[in-house]
Structure 1
Amino acid sequence: MTDTVTEWIKRHAHPLSTQDAWAPLDDQSPWGDIVGDAPLVALGCSTRQTHELSTTAHRALRFLVEEKGFRTLALEGDDPERLGLDEYVRTGDGDPLAMLAEARPFLRTGEILDVVTWMREHNERHPHDQVRFARLPEGARLEPTTRRELERQLADDVLWWHEHTGDKIVYWGGIAHTAVAPGSLGGHLRERFGSGYLSVGLTFEDGALPWPITAPPADFAETPLSATDLDTFLLDLRVARPEAVRAWLEAPTKTRMIGPTQDPLEHLSDGAFGDWFDVVGHHRHVTPAHLIAG
């Protein structure tokens, strides 16, 4: 079974050729067919602390804005309006480095600064067709006290912004939220948008965060992805697949998720890889994100 799955992955994988956020987007063209007409793409990172996963998300964002008409980035983890980032990308007012120094720790990276800088440069080139950050609903908000309440609030915030603006939205956050599962943000948005919600899982085999991270156990869903020997690739999990691949995608499994203070052995479970994600962007090796002052 493993050989069949690995061969299927190798046959349908789209290699990504660079980890330079600013390089031409020639290797990003598969996103065109993968996204189709979906109005909401979620880039769920198994960790927010690596250069490679952040750069893959950044380059996907660039393609979706430049080629697919997306105009909003919903950046999970902090309020860009509170930080002043939304004002900066629209007008150029302020110092984005100082703003990010006030953000949550996993957003204080050179990779996120690159995203903000690119958004500002895009808006300078297109002053009448700008890309922006999603804002939170106006008025008083109750603080969620349970995980279920948090997931519902995250989903409601995205729904409010979509209904308020009509924008196509890229949601960039953690894999535990974006995966399609009962009660998750991804689960709520799948209920609302159906196949118009595209769940993308950004995964990896090993590397540093900056502490060393070894390959996950063999029973994790990433194992067949790493067996391809491809460094970095996109894979649409919805394409035609033989019985062995269906079994892999539909079987109960685990996939790694590592937060800023979580145990590196933490993982997503109680679901199937093919239910959680429509697309996967896998990386064999990762290196730490570049921290900025703050």
Structure 2
Amino acid sequence: MDHDIAHASALPFSTDSLDGLAARIATGATIVGIGGSTRFSREVSGLQDQLFRRLVTQHGFRLLALQEHAGAVDRLDRYVRTGEGSAESALDAAWRPWRTAETAAALRWIRAFNRDHPDDQVQIVGTKPAQAQHEDYDAVLGHVRAIAPDRLPELTAHLEPIRTAHDLDEHVQQAQGAHPGRPFAEHARDALALLKSLPTAKGSEAVLARMRLIVDFHDQSVAGRGSFGGEDDAAADMLAGHQRRTGLRMVFWDGIAHTSAAPFRLGMVSDGALMPSVGSELRARYGAGYVAVAIGFHHGDLGVVTVPEPPADFLDAELGRADTPAHWLDLRGEHDANGEHGEDVHRHWAGPAKMRVISGVYDPAQDADAYLRVASLTAAFDVLAHVHEARAAHWLERVQH
């Protein structure tokens, strides 16, 4: 637990400031979306974690929602509710950005809370239905090895390249120049056709079902869809369903492009199309009961990349002019952390804004395009938290960059 303690104490916010921020965002909220401008910073993920802990212990929140599929979420939920395995092993099937020491620390904290509150536990839920995992590829390969070994090399040539997308998203491989060339969805469909051409044998239907999951995974990926959007309405339905089913207050961790309470445009997308978000769908369902928090930073070494100071027209540049390592603002008609009058705060930030986004496809040479743009900052986010300098998250050993 030493790492957990060091992780929390390294945050550039005082305990009183975190308590005040948590109290502010909890007021009137059924769902709180806490979005980060990057998934690669220990400060950003640490602040998400510390706010979540306060929302649980001080304000009665009992659901943590992640952008994750049902199979992986089930493992995380079993660990925090029963202690099965370890935090690290529970993350084995999770999406790569979650596989950090910071996420493991958060899971251990939830497990400890649940152990002390067996009748009032925190649950972990996800935004996606069940999807393919590595064992599905193994099952398909094993089946063909047993019934048609002469077709195994052909099947392997389709499946081995594309299973890498479970460790590094296909669109990120494309951006990094590591992609083998042919679209993964095409390989998956050819593999399905190969399976269908084989004689029926014991277990064939189950294996075909696994292969269809694999096809669906690649068809529905960012690369397969050819878009960063497209799943927001379904994800919001999933989260709203979890909330209605349990009646519990929820915290939703994700990136700011997903938690924004208003549609947005991405600088990295050439057509500049207006895109909905999970948060905008939740705002439509819950109104002010959905509270959107954005965590950003000015600059820093994220390990995978060094991010320079932001362009002058970015919100992050304006927030970075404050003479403090970290601060937060409530953009609603209240007041900010320094006690300034709320109407003045709301009026100052009510216009359009560009906000830095550092994703897996970020290129420092194109830093000026790494932004999310909203027509009204106060419509998109209720609270801003800003860290001046960000540092790298601690990746678990099995995660390869």
Same fold (TM over 0.5): yes
Q: Which amino acid aligns with 1:292?
A: L
Matching of residue 161 in structure 1 with residue 242 in structure 2: yes
Offset from partner CA, 1:83-135 (integer Å, 9 cap, x none): 61110100011132123233222111100000110000001111111011015
TM-score by length of 2: 0.63
Q: How does 1:40-119 map to 2 (within 5 A)?
A: 40-79=31-70, 81-82=72-73, 84-119=75-110
| Partner Cα distance (1:168, 1:185) in 2 | 17
- Who is 1:280 aligned against? 384
Aligned 8 A contact 2:32 2:293 in 1: yes
Which of 253-262 and 110-119 deviates more? 253-262
| Partner Cα distance (1:287, 1:54) in 2 | 11
- Who is 1:181 aligned against? 262
2:291 to 178, 182, 198: 198
**Rg larger for:** 2
Aligned 8 A contact 2:353 2:374 in 1: yes
User: Does the C-alpha gap of structure 1 residues 138 and 219 become closer, same or farther in structure 2, counting only changes over 3 Å?
Assistant: closer
Aligned 8 A contact 2:68 2:128 in 1: no
Shift of 1:25: 4.7
- Who is 1:123 aligned against? 114
- Who is 1:10 aligned against? none
| Partner Cα distance (1:290, 1:208) in 2 | 12
Offset from partner CA, 1:204-229 (integer Å, 9 cap, x none): 00101112111111111122211111
Q: Which amino acid aligns with 2:356?
A: R
Matching of residue 29 in structure 1 with residue 19 in structure 2: yes
| Partner Cα distance (2:57, 2:80) in 1 | 16
Aligned 8 A contact 2:297 2:316 in 1: yes
Does the residue aligned with 2:231 lie in a helix, a strand or coil? helix
Aligned 8 A contact 2:79 2:90 in 1: no
1:207 to 286, 300, 305: 300
Matching of residue 39 in structure 1 with residue 30 in structure 2: yes
Matching of residue 291 in structure 1 with residue 395 in structure 2: yes
Which of 188-197 and 93-102 deviates more? 93-102
Shift of 1:232: 1.5
Q: Which amino acid aligns with 1:116?
A: L
Question: What is the aligned-residue RMSD (CA, Å)?
Answer: 2.5
Shift of 1:155: 0.8
| Partner Cα distance (2:299, 2:71) in 1 | 31
Shift of 1:285: 0.3
- Who is 2:315 aligned against? 221
Aligned 8 A contact 1:52 1:287 in 2: yes
| Partner Cα distance (2:281, 2:314) in 1 | 25
User: Does the C-alpha gap of structure 1 residues 25 and 125 become closer, same or farther in structure 2, counting only changes over 3 Å?
Assistant: farther
User: Does the C-alpha gap of structure 1 residues 267 and 136 become closer, same or farther in structure 2, counting only changes over 3 Å?
Assistant: closer
Shift of 1:260: 2.0
TM-score by length of 1: 0.85
Does the residue aligned with 2:230 lie in a helix, a strand or coil? helix
2:354 to 227, 240, 254: 254
| Partner Cα distance (1:193, 1:224) in 2 | 31
| Partner Cα distance (2:324, 2:26) in 1 | 22
Does the residue aligned with 2:358 lie in a helix, a strand or coil? coil
User: Does the C-alpha gap of structure 1 residues 99 and 237 become closer, same or farther in structure 2, counting only changes over 3 Å?
Assistant: same
Aligned 8 A contact 1:52 1:283 in 2: yes
Aligned 8 A contact 2:72 2:93 in 1: no
- Who is 1:171 aligned against? 252
Does the residue aligned with 2:34 lie in a helix, a strand or coil? strand
- Who is 1:9 aligned against? none
Aligned 8 A contact 2:70 2:130 in 1: no
Higher relative contact order (CA 8 A, sep 6+): 1
| Partner Cα distance (2:229, 2:33) in 1 | 19
Offset from partner CA, 1:65-98 (integer Å, 9 cap, x none): 0010000000224546456111010001113212
Aligned 8 A contact 2:325 2:388 in 1: yes
Which of 128-137 and 23-32 deviates more? 23-32
Aligned 8 A contact 2:63 2:248 in 1: yes
How many residue pairs align between the two structures? Answer: 275
Aligned 8 A contact 1:101 1:293 in 2: no
Which of 38-47 and 273-282 deviates more? 273-282
Percent of residue pairs identical:
33
Q: Which amino acid aligns with 2:331?
A: L
Aligned 8 A contact 1:51 1:286 in 2: yes
Aligned 8 A contact 2:243 2:250 in 1: yes
| Partner Cα distance (1:166, 1:263) in 2 | 42
Offset from partner CA, 1:29-48 (integer Å, 9 cap, x none): 21213321211100000001
Which of 279-288 and 133-142 deviates more? 133-142
